[in-house]
Amino acid sequence: MPLESTYQKYSVNNNNIDYTHVLGAGHYDNANWPLSSQIGNASLKRTIEGVSIFKAIKKPNLKMLFTGYAG
């Protein structure tokens, strides 16, 4: 079951946060492709959702973190 199925959708009404965190979900390591083509489908969806939440909160010092496999 995907991680997204485990939790409810985030409510931007709860803006008492200091960070947003986007978890990685795979990529394709191909130096011949542009970076935009190397991101996996789930990673792209998580990134779009994270940016949407980040922009909706409108908190000046809010930080956005991205994590994933370093290998």
Rounded Cα distance between 57 and 11, Å, is: 10
Compute the distance between CA of residue 60 and CA of residue 6 in angstroms, rounded to an integer. 30
Residue 10: is its pLDDT beyond 60?
yes
Burial status of residue 31 (CB atoms within 10 A of its CB: 0-12, 13-18, 19 or more): exposed
What pLDDT band is residue 48 in, cutting at 50, 70 and 90?
very high
CA atoms within 13 A on the CB side of 57: 22
Distance separating alpha carbons of residues 14 and 42, to the nearest angstrom: 25
pLDDT-derived band at 71 (thresholds 50, 70, 90) equals: low
pLDDT beyond 90 at 8: no
Would the pLDDT of 4 be above 80?
no
